[in-house]
Structure 1
Amino acid sequence: MRENRLYGELNVGDTASIKRVCTANDLYIFAHASGNLNPLHLPDEAHHSHSEAIAPAMWVGALVSAVLGNILPGAGTLYRSQSFRFGDRVHVGDVLNVTVTVRAKLGDGVVELGTAVTGRGGDKVAEGIAEVLAPSQKVRCDDTNVPELLVQRHRHFDRLLESCKGLQPIATAVAVPEDKASLGGALLAAEHGLIRPILVGAAKTIAAVAKEIGASLDGIEIVNTVGDDAAAAMAVELARTGKAEAIMKGHLHTDTLLHHVVKHDSGLCTNRRLSHVFVMDVPGLGQVLIVSDAAINIAPDLAAKVDITQNAIDVALALGIDAPKVGVLSAVETVTPKIPSTIDAAVLSKMAERGQIKGAVVDGPLAMDNAIDVEAARTKGIASLVAGHADILIVPNLEAGNMLAKELVFVAQAEAAGLALGATVPIILTSRADGERARLASCAIAALYRAWRADGQALVHLDRAAE
């Protein structure tokens, strides 16, 4: 319990202080609250030459009010004036000491306090004088609960795109890019050097859409076909003959495209079942979250889940997640014969222990809460390397996976990118609802996956990191 200090209880020389670490989220929140969008103060901006963004001086000054309002004099304190002289600059990661000291009692409840903020090695960051009206009533209180804030940042996808710089663009057969979203997404990825698109579809329609969106098709190969089925077949043929290193879904049904991919004579089949992998950049999570399978396998049996799990692990390894942690989901975290998915989860865990699933730590069954939340796992007494730390979530069926992925996107404001794996080439499956960054990230994942397949080395590292 904290107790405030009334005017009569204050003495010259009384002092109080707090410590505070400057974080990137602090700077984003201050930018929103103040409207100050100076790029010098925004992390990840390219408009300044400093290694870290500089904290706004008034953010530093605002820390003084935390001491005045919470400790000395405490609850009920009101500002009359505040002066500052600013010295050293504050950067993300700096630890600050904020101190106030009573200098004088001026009568009528008014108190003068010296204010100081120090940073690295005791360097003076800010100093000044505050005049406040001391509390008039005694108050004892706990820390007041205020609504939590979630800063919507998609920094993981930023790192994906950055890691692709210097890679050769992937020759990509884009099947039926005959609407604004699919053609625009392919051309945007080409502009960023991620893919070299080969547009497969009705040439006249593609040209009309390009004109509508104001895009140039100069230098871009177009393979004229009639109908979605013919375009899907041609895209697969381009991949089979090595003219394309990836396939990208355009304005056609996924089933139409995958029908040609999985044909026995397509030349793209492997001994691995085809499955879709969502890579989710979820605000507030310290790592990407991989979800599989939410788009292809409706009710996978155990054999299919083995391939689904291994495909997801391969994507994680390609993204530099060392020894990824795989949580196999069900409704409960105990093996229950009445719930078949719990038995599959337990078998997958044992198969990973025996080396039948490689490259990751696999555990299940886990419920969603204790797969990603440490406290939920502790509350239920689950002792596991995965519980609370899952990088990959393997869902029991397509319905569960589809709902989970869409909830993350439309409720948790995640961005979702993904691939279909299990063929000889990655298949970029985008949705009309995908934004530009999600489309770019899908192409980036395909590029990074191809590079990893070539030499087994990841070009990016998306291991769990603190916000």
Structure 2
Amino acid sequence: MIFESRMWDELEPGMSAELRRLLTADDFYVFAAASGNHNPVHLASQDGDGDGVKEAVAPGMFVASLITSVLGNMLPGPGTLYRSQSLTFHERAHAGEELVARVAVVSKSADGCVTLATEARRVGDDALIVDGEACVQAPARRVRYEELDVPGLIVQRHRHFEAMLEKAEALPSLQTAVVCPEADHALEGALIAAEHAIITPLLIGDPDKIAKAAKEVGKSLDAYQILPALTHREAARIAVDLVNEGRAEAIMKGHLHTDDLLKPMLDKVTGLRIGRRFTHIFVMDVPGVSHPLLVTDAAINIAPDLVTKVDIVQNAIDLAISIGIEVPKVGVLSAVETVNPAIPSSIDAALLSKMAERGQIKGGIVDGPLAMDNAVDIGAARTKGLRGEVPGHAEVLVVPGIDSGNMLAKQLAYISHAEGAGLVLGAKVPVILNSRSDSSMARLASAAVAAINYHYQKGTMR
């Protein structure tokens, strides 16, 4: 877009300009952060007036700022300064609506002031949202820019997890065996999920340590059943028994090592195997990404061979479908996007892609090898000449091994400000795998994803 100013002596009554703008919920979050106006009636996640409806009403001064965009960008353009602005609001605009802001020169005075009629209308029904009159100081000299480099903004709002949480809260509470919630972070995550009616926790472990953890987080245990276990291995075994007896529909990791949690589940006689390998999946809510991003395997399979990767991909596709991605697009990552015999991960990626074409992997579209950039960025994919549905649009990222998976997930969390829900699939029930450093949102999201997956697999989604 070219920005060019119109000086005072060039302006004539009747000259006009306009700009269109689609209003988004993120616009209103940015406005709240910049202005300090946190009125919840403007925020898509809130019911600001208590009527049971989340309004996402456009802030009045945000709508007015669209008028300033026309003044500052087009007429009179760069260098324009306000003297005054009157505003009368006639209707309200909302997120998802498109507005057109217009200005028209009415008059100009010898002191350099230009008076313009201003308005903003809704596209579609032409409803008048706001009108008024602006008096501005026209630019004293011509200024022209072909483009201005303004830093982009990403709203750190985890909309995908918020939607999953809302969906999970409407489902029957998941009976969940919580193994060794003997530290504050481990217990609090389970109790927060219980408070949201996502799970009904069965607390397994040392009763004294659980009680101490509850005191540290200021929570009461009166409403919860505690099943005593003296060792971590015993607690994990009790959780497996509860599943086999039909008394638990999920397992949640508490304050114990992952190996101790999983070992009883892998027992060939009394464990929870269902034919596939156990694989770990992070469901990531990355600010600025329009869909959940699944990363697998970042916690269990250290250096998976091709057979293991088939299960890794299939488990990820099944989970993606359960959370609402109808036909998951799976990018199998390597260091390159072409097959290189010297890079084993590129060979595995190509084989997985072909296996999906032949129906050996079902439910999703699998493509690889893909480098990280051309898996998630359409510009990078086109630069490399990659075509198809997956390059630039991957929703599931399959990594070569645990090192790269763990690094990728933590980079997304600590550099891109993502939240990650951790789940293990391949057992009779979902296994919620939280880290000690997980936030409350991550723990809550993990429980929500587990509940959605469980009820989807059982056919009990409403």
Q: Whole-Å Cα distance in 2 between the matches of residues 124 and 174 of structure 1?
A: 56
1:458 CA drift (Å) = 5.8
Indicate the residue corresponding to 2:153 in structure 1. Answer: 149
Are the counterparts in 1 of residues 264 and 271 from structure 2 also a CA contact under 8 Å? no
Give the stretch that moved more between structures: 42-51 or 230-239: 42-51
Among 79, 93, 97, which residue is 1:90 paired with?
93
Q: Whole-Å Cα distance in 1 between the matches of residues 170 and 142 of structure 2?
A: 64
Q: Whole-Å Cα distance in 2 between the matches of residues 319 and 159 of structure 1?
A: 10
Aligned residue runs from structure 1 range 426-445, under 5 A: 426-445=430-449
Are the counterparts in 2 of residues 317 and 323 from structure 1 also a CA contact under 8 Å? yes
Q: Which amino acid aligns with 1:265?
A: V
Q: Which stretches of structure 1, 4 residues or longer, exceed 3 Å deviation after superposition?
A: 48-52
Q: Whole-Å Cα distance in 2 between the matches of residues 285 and 397 of structure 1?
A: 24
1:3 CA drift (Å) = 2.5
SS across alignment from 1:16:
strand
Indicate the residue corresponding to 1:10 in structure 2. Answer: 11
Aligned residue runs from structure 1 range 221-370, under 5 A: 221-370=225-374
Give the stretch that moved more between structures: 205-214 or 330-339: 205-214
SS across alignment from 1:129:
strand
Are the counterparts in 2 of residues 320 and 458 from structure 1 also a CA contact under 8 Å? no
Indicate the residue corresponding to 1:465 in structure 2. Answer: none
Are the counterparts in 1 of residues 171 and 461 from structure 2 also a CA contact under 8 Å? no
1:259-308 deviations in Å (ceiling 9; x for gaps): 22212233312210011011001111110001100000000000000011
1:226-247 deviations in Å (ceiling 9; x for gaps): 1222222222222233222211
Aligned residue runs from structure 1 range 128-147, under 5 A: 128-147=132-151
1:20 CA drift (Å) = 1.4
Indicate the residue corresponding to 1:109 in structure 2. Answer: 112
SS across alignment from 2:169:
coil
Q: Whole-Å Cα distance in 1 between the matches of residues 211 and 200 of structure 2?
A: 17
1:26-46 deviations in Å (ceiling 9; x for gaps): 111111111111111111212
Alignment of 1:371 onto 2:401:
no
Are the counterparts in 1 of residues 41 and 54 from structure 2 also a CA contact under 8 Å? no
1:211 CA drift (Å) = 2.2
1:12-34 deviations in Å (ceiling 9; x for gaps): 22111111121111111111111
Among 186, 198, 202, which residue is 2:202 paired with?
198
1:219 CA drift (Å) = 3.3
Q: Which amino acid aligns with 1:142?
A: E
Among 170, 184, 187, which residue is 1:183 paired with?
187
Give the stretch that moved more between structures: 307-316 or 219-228: 219-228
Q: Whole-Å Cα distance in 2 between the matches of residues 53 and 342 of structure 1?
A: 46
Q: Which amino acid aligns with 2:64?
A: G
1:31-83 deviations in Å (ceiling 9; x for gaps): 11111111111112122345642111111111111111111111111111111
Q: Whole-Å Cα distance in 2 between the matches of residues 242 and 267 of structure 1?
A: 14
Indicate the residue corresponding to 1:38 in structure 2. Answer: 39
SS across alignment from 2:109:
strand
The unaligned stretches of length 5 or more in structure 2 are: none
Among 55, 60, 64, which residue is 2:63 paired with?
60
Indicate the residue corresponding to 2:74 in structure 1. Answer: 71
Q: Whole-Å Cα distance in 2 between the matches of residues 325 and 339 of structure 1?
A: 23
Q: Which amino acid aligns with 2:30?
A: I
Q: Whole-Å Cα distance in 2 between the matches of residues 166 and 54 of structure 1?
A: 26
SS across alignment from 1:107:
coil
Q: Whole-Å Cα distance in 1 between the matches of residues 43 and 54 of structure 2?
A: 12
Alignment of 1:28 onto 2:29:
yes
Using the aligned pairs only, state the percent identity.
Answer: 53
Indicate the residue corresponding to 1:423 in structure 2. Answer: 427
Are the counterparts in 1 of residues 280 and 297 from structure 2 also a CA contact under 8 Å? yes
1:146-175 deviations in Å (ceiling 9; x for gaps): 010001111111111111233222221111
1:392-432 deviations in Å (ceiling 9; x for gaps): 11100000000000000111010100211111121110111
Give the stretch that moved more between structures: 144-153 or 86-95: 86-95
Q: How many residues align?
A: 458
Q: Whole-Å Cα distance in 1 between the matches of residues 299 and 199 of structure 2?
A: 23
Q: Which amino acid aligns with 2:337?
A: E
Indicate the residue corresponding to 1:449 in structure 2. Answer: 453
SS across alignment from 2:353:
helix
Give the stretch that moved more between structures: 281-290 or 436-445: 436-445
TM-score, length basis structure 2: 0.96
Aligned CA RMSD, in angstroms, stands at 1.4
Q: Whole-Å Cα distance in 2 between the matches of residues 212 and 291 of structure 1?
A: 33
Q: Whole-Å Cα distance in 2 between the matches of residues 188 and 138 of structure 1?
A: 60
Q: 1:17 to 1:421 in 2, by over 3 A?
A: same
Q: 1:240 to 1:16 in 2, by over 3 A?
A: same
Q: Whole-Å Cα distance in 2 between the matches of residues 436 and 30 of structure 1?
A: 26
Are the counterparts in 1 of residues 46 and 54 from structure 2 also a CA contact under 8 Å? no
1:293-352 deviations in Å (ceiling 9; x for gaps): 000000000000001111111101111211111110000000110000011011111111
Among 156, 160, 164, which residue is 2:164 paired with?
160
Q: Whole-Å Cα distance in 1 between the matches of residues 242 and 105 of structure 2?
A: 78
Are the counterparts in 2 of residues 288 and 391 from structure 1 also a CA contact under 8 Å? yes
The unaligned stretches of length 5 or more in structure 1 are: 460-467
Indicate the residue corresponding to 1:464 in structure 2. Answer: none
Give the stretch that moved more between structures: 117-126 or 321-330: 117-126
TM-score, length basis structure 1: 0.95
Q: Which amino acid aligns with 1:79?
A: Y
